[in-house]
Chain A
Amino acid sequence: MRAGVIVFPGSNCDRDVAVALEQTTGRPTTMIWHRDTALPPLDLIVVPGGFAFGDYLRAGAIAAQSPVMREVKARAAAGAYVLGICNGFQVLTEAGLLEGVLMRNTGLRFVCRDVYLRVDNAATAFTRGYGQGQVVRMPIAHNEGNFYADAATLDRLAAEGRIVFSYCDAEGHSDVATNPNGAQRHIAGIVNRGGNVLGLMPHPERLADPLLGGTDGRAMFEGLLAAVAA
């Protein structure tokens, strides 16, 4: 799998995800500066976490208009896998590649801790390494993770199986107490209609090695590797 990671001024999880990808793929990850527009052939493009452009205006808004994102949109339209993690999820919604908006957490606090997630759709390329309904643990670290979309959009996402990860407890039950940021319908991650663009607030790359305290995130990268090889 040929993987690339977009780097914006203010990205800070770009190297973490590159390491996680290299451990999975066994080959170097291409780092792509936001001004670059000539990308090499890539099977997977990651828009990493961080605070691209200082979250000025709205989280992800300035990054979504950067030159490289035009190319990312073109690659997504051509079928490449695009994964937006945390700030990357915010960038993908602002770029129009995914529905909704990540608003300020309802608790008005930056939340940085591990959460449980339920895999609501294990049939995507990103989640084929997990079981349907499996509960996994991943870290979150964000101030704007409160997923919002209008009711019609939420209904459509649910009906189409595009809500991929939901916040829950260790048994897989979701309620207000297990929702760290006020996200509508406890949504932690969604996929586009084509199934090749996924955004999620939690950080799979931060629990992708036993040295980091867990490996629940690793199955996402392994799943993508298998999907590309298939």
Chain B
Amino acid sequence: MKAKVHIMLKAGVLDPQGRAVQHSLAALGFADVDEVRQGKYIELDLNEDDQAAARARVEAMCRQLLANTVIETYSIEIV
């Protein structure tokens, strides 16, 4: 199975990169963007056939390495 993991900064944590992208968009005339938040997208190929087991494994990976839960949240999609 494949796992798709999205990692984003928590609400309230300043995202300087997102803000720089927003300013650059505004300079290009895209002034209708109120906020940009930039994150990470990670794809994992898993040798696991059970969906629940796969999700549990990826949860553990997120907690231990893929995300830093002090500043980041993660969401997992198993496909």
Chain A residues packing against B (C-beta within 8 Å): 57-58, 61, 65, 94, 99-101, 103-108, 146, 148-150, 182
Chain B residues packing against A (C-beta within 8 Å): 13-14, 16-17, 20, 64-66, 68, 70-71
B34 CB to nearest A CB, Å: 20
Q: Which residues of B contact A148 (CB under 8 A)?
A: 13, 70-71
Q: Tell whether, in the assembled complex, residue A106 and residue B14 are in contact, meaning their CB atoms are under 8 Å apart.
A: yes
Q: Which residues of B contact A57 (CB under 8 A)?
A: 65-66
Which 7 pairs, one residue from A and one from B, show the smallest C-beta to C-beta distance? A106-B16, A101-B70, A101-B71, A108-B16, A108-B20, A104-B16, A101-B68
Q: Which residues of B contact A108 (CB under 8 A)?
A: 16-17, 20
Cβ-Cβ contact count across A and B, 8 Å cutoff? 33
B35 CB to nearest A CB, Å: 16
Q: Which residues of B contact A101 (CB under 8 A)?
A: 68, 70-71
Other A-B pairs, 5, CB within 8 Å; known A57-B66, A65-B64, A148-B13:
A58-B68, A61-B65, A100-B70, A106-B16, A108-B16
* Complex Cα–Cα for A146 and B65 (A): 20
A65 CB to nearest B CB, Å: 6
Q: Is the interface of B mostly helix, strand, loop or mixed?
A: helix
* Complex Cα–Cα for A101 and B13 (A): 11
Closest to A100 in B: B70
* Complex Cα–Cα for A103 and B13 (A): 10
* Complex Cα–Cα for A104 and B72 (A): 13
Q: Tell whether, in the assembled complex, residue A65 and residue B16 are in contact, meaning their CB atoms are under 8 Å apart.
A: no
Q: Tell whether, in the assembled complex, residue A182 and residue B68 are in contact, meaning their CB atoms are under 8 Å apart.
A: no
* Complex Cα–Cα for A101 and B14 (A): 13
B49 CB to nearest A CB, Å: 27
* Complex Cα–Cα for A29 and B14 (A): 40
* Complex Cα–Cα for A46 and B66 (A): 25
Given A57-B65, A61-B65, A108-B20, also A182-B14 (CB < 8 A): yes
A-B contacts, 9 of them at CB < 8 A, read A57-B66, A61-B65, A61-B68, A94-B68, A104-B16, A106-B14, A108-B16, A148-B71, A182-B16
Which residue of A65, A99, A100, A104 has the most chain B CB atoms within 10 A of its CB atom? A104
* Complex Cα–Cα for A94 and B71 (A): 12
Q: Which residues of A contact B13 (CB under 8 A)?
A: 103, 148
* Complex Cα–Cα for A150 and B71 (A): 9
A53 CB to nearest B CB, Å: 12
* Complex Cα–Cα for A148 and B68 (A): 12
* Complex Cα–Cα for A105 and B68 (A): 17
B76 CB to nearest A CB, Å: 17
Instruction: Report which of B20, B65, B70, B71 forms a contact with A65, defined as CB distance below 8 A.
Output: B65
Q: Tell whether, in the assembled complex, residue A149 and residue B14 are in contact, meaning their CB atoms are under 8 Å apart.
A: no
A144 CB to nearest B CB, Å: 11
